[in-house]
Chains A and B, each alone.
Chain A
Amino acid sequence: MSDFMMFSLVPMTVAIIISMTCALLGNFLVLRRQSLISDAISHVALPGIVASFLLTGTIASTAMMLGAGVSALVTVAMIDAIRRFGRVEISAAMGVTFTSLFALGVLLLEVSQASGVHIDVQHALYGNLESLIWFEGVGLSSLVDPAALATLPPQLARVGVVALVVLVFVVVFRRHLILGSFDSEFAASIRARPALVDLLLVTMVAVAAIAAFEAVGSIIVIAMFICPAAAARLMTNHLGKQLAWSQLFALISAVVGYWLAGYGLIALGLDMSLSAAGMIATVAGLILLVTCLWGPQRRGRAVLANA
């Protein structure tokens, strides 16, 4: 039990919070057919973090989050400029932007590592959920012990705050988000400011991606934006129910994935553990596969036509 408190409670909680936060935003991305903006933003977190490190010289989390945030906004602006001034199709504009920025990040990283600095590319890509150890978490009593609680890894509080911000955003802007997702022209006609809501949504995606970046890595976080929401979309035609399904799927992915990674092989008698972030995303993908095969609303219009 104390093993669980020390090694698994915090990573699992962080994984659950991140998964549910990303899945919540993912619903609107999937509805708007903008899923790949999460792909672009997650890739550029790396150059943002490296650049902020080179500028400030510290690996303090606030500086890094700021760097990643700035790079996300730069990305969105670049994609928009290439699309608008160059009349390039949006997916191609995205491809040009995020690959170039990612390449810049890798180059900066290699050059700075040559001068004796260590930021690990692999952790940036895979994440490092397992490192969130709560040394004072020796038992249930630690949960009510202020001294022990003070030593909780700071990432936990950070993802908590981000989750709260995202939740407030979705609740406050729910009508705008829904309108913009289904009929942006109508939204513009009644002055619901779809462009502003779009920008806010992208900013929220960036904030969530950055918070998740440290824990689960930049590429796996894309799975949490897309898979639970896409799976939920195949379960129901009702947006409220879709949000609920996506939250449930995210929760299941986080818990089952974490358990499989940490204890799955041990339960089979093999003494090794696997990448928790990778396993969570894999479970999310499997859930999506199941809904693709048997989800009640998987066909959309075709089903409606038969009904």
Chain B
Amino acid sequence: MMDAWWPALIFSAGYNTTLVTLGAMLLGAGAGMIGAFVLLRKRSLVSDAITHATLPGLAMAFVLIGAIQGDGRWLPGLLLGAALSAALGLWLVQWISARTRLGEDAAIGAVLSTFFAFGVVLITVIQSMNVTGQSGLTGYLVGSTAGMLAVEAKLIASCALGLLLAVFILRREFLLVCFDPEFAQTQGVNTGRVDLLLLLLLMAVVVIGLKVTGLILVVALTITPPVSARFWTNRPPRMVALAAVLGALAAYLGVTLSSARASLPTGSLIVLSAFAIFLMSFLAAPRRGVFASLLAHQRFRRRVHLRQGLLSMSRNEPIFDGLTLRLLRRAGHIRRDGVATAQGRAAAREAEHEERLWALYRRLYPGDALHREHAGLDPIARVLPPDAIDELEQRLLASGGRA
């Protein structure tokens, strides 16, 4: 397995494989970029509708081309047909959700299933026709890169390159509209037109991706890499760039893996690679990842326990909680038998004092206290400026130490 995978990984498994790999990577990058904008617009599943809506156009183009030249396989014509019916589906989704009271979810579901169904009907028409190349048509369902001709690979690669360039040129308008549509409008950007452009590019990605991952899986290329990228950064420009990189990486891994053995479906492997990248991001990303959140939660819990333990010590209350006792012991505030050390007594007094300052602060400035995250748990000197603390100390003294 490995010795078959390695040549593909370093682009030395033959001209055609290299071409397909590069084409798929460009496509993955373009899909990732556009998908990132679509994700920011919260319309990820629109691509699901577009994808399924390509089938009837594909089938009709096949019938038409087949009627003219006897063989339905002619990629540019098929892609044009797919694009036309995808555009119709896209327009219907927009129209239904804008003009009727149905939500966008119902519009997407209705369009994707009805178009796909009509495509299936057309495929049964084709099956009873006398046209060659029918088996090539089913390749569009789950993708078929293995049997791709060099001409087709070149077409896909150059389309993907053009697409990538288009997104790169339009990135400012897209970012503006995705980030703050109202502000964009005040800057003279036509939001509706930018949205339309975005969806048209999304449609182009889907149509070009048909041959690589197949009709049903191309939607993953536009959703999974952007969602993964979102875990690593909060800044939209970086997220878009990262989504492009992750999309290309998923395509690279998927295509090379599938070329290692004959029966491996490329589309599925690209999607599963994208999912593996997603899973890593989901678990391990700093700040937004699951591990990071769990760690942050643990740290917070320990701080609460430690503080409550010290407060109990200063009030001479018995402590029963196991975690609290463990934390106090580890910090050297109490001995093994539970008696407070000198250091512990000092820390307890400090905690008590701090708690009083915080209580006073909360009473004097309830509005400000609300805005401070974990107010009362952080050391007050790190949160408030020295003069504010001085003022609090004065008031505390004046009230006789009672907050």
Contact with B along A74-94 (1 / 0, CB 8 A): 000000001001111101111
Provide the bound-state CA to CA distance between A28 and B99, in Å.
Answer: 21
Residue of B nearest to A34 (CB): B105
Residue in contact with B116 in the complex, picked from A104, A219, A234, A299, CB distance below 8 Å = A219
Minimum distance in angstroms from B374 CB to a CB of chain A: 20
Are B101 and A95 closer than 8 Å at their CB atoms?
A: no
* Contact of A267 with B by CB under 8 A: no
Q: How far is the CA of A301 from the CA of B99 in the complex (A)?
A: 11
Min C-beta distance of A287 to chain B, whole Å: 10
Closest approach, in angstroms, between the C-beta of A291 and any C-beta of chain B? 8
Does A137 sit within 8 A of B, measured CB to CB?
A: no
Q: Is the CB of B109 within 8 A of A103?
A: no
Of residues 213 to 237 in B, which have CB atoms within 8 Å of A's CB atoms?
216-217, 219-220, 223-224, 226-227, 230-231
Contact B219 A95 (CB under 8 A): yes
- CA–CA, A297 to B102, complex, Å? 11
A residues in contact with B45, CB < 8 Å: 36, 39, 91, 94-95
Which of B99, B114, B121, B272 is the one whose CB lies under 8 Å from A104?
B272
Tell whether A64 is near chain B: CB-to-CB under 8 Å.
Answer: no
Cβ of B141: which chain A residues have Cβ within 8 Å of it? 121-122, 125
B114 in contact with A227 (CB, 8 Å): yes
Beta-carbon contact of A107 and B101 below 8 Å = no
B278 to A96, Cβ gap below 8 A? yes
Partner of B138, one of A38, A92, A122: A122
Q: Which residues of A contact B269 (CB under 8 A)?
A: 103, 107
Q: Which residues of B contact A38 (CB under 8 A)?
A: 109
- Interface assignment of B342: CB less than 8 Å from any CB of chain A: no
Closest to B285 in A: A86
A126 to chain B: which residues have CB within 8 Å?
Answer: 120, 123
The answer to whether A223 and B110 have CB atoms under 8 Å apart is yes
Q: A213-266: which residues lie under 8 A (CB-CB) from chain B?
A: 217, 219-223, 225-227, 230, 233-234, 261
A300 and B224 in contact, given A222-B109, A281-B113, A281-B117 (Cβ under 8 angstroms): no
| In the assembled complex, A110 has its CB within 8 A of some CB on chain B | yes
Q: Do B101 and A103 have beta carbons less than 8 Å apart?
A: no
Q: Given A92-B44, A106-B265, answer yes or no on A100-B109 (Cβ-Cβ < 8 Å).
A: no
Return chain B residues, CB-CB under 8 Å to A223. Answer: 110, 113-114, 117
Query: Do the beta carbons of B113 and A43 come within 8 Å of each other?
Result: no
Show 15 A/B contacts (Cβ-Cβ < 8 Å), sorted by A. Answer: A33-B105, A35-B108, A36-B48, A36-B105, A92-B44, A96-B223, A102-B217, A113-B263, A125-B141, A219-B216, A274-B124, A275-B123, A278-B121, A278-B124, A281-B113
Tell me the B residues contacting A by CB distance below 8 Å: 39, 42-45, 47-48, 52, 95-96, 99-103, 105-106, 108-110, 112-121, 123-125, 128, 138, 141-142, 216-217, 219-220, 223-224, 226-227, 230-231, 263-265, 267-269, 271-272, 274-275, 278, 282, 288, 290, 293
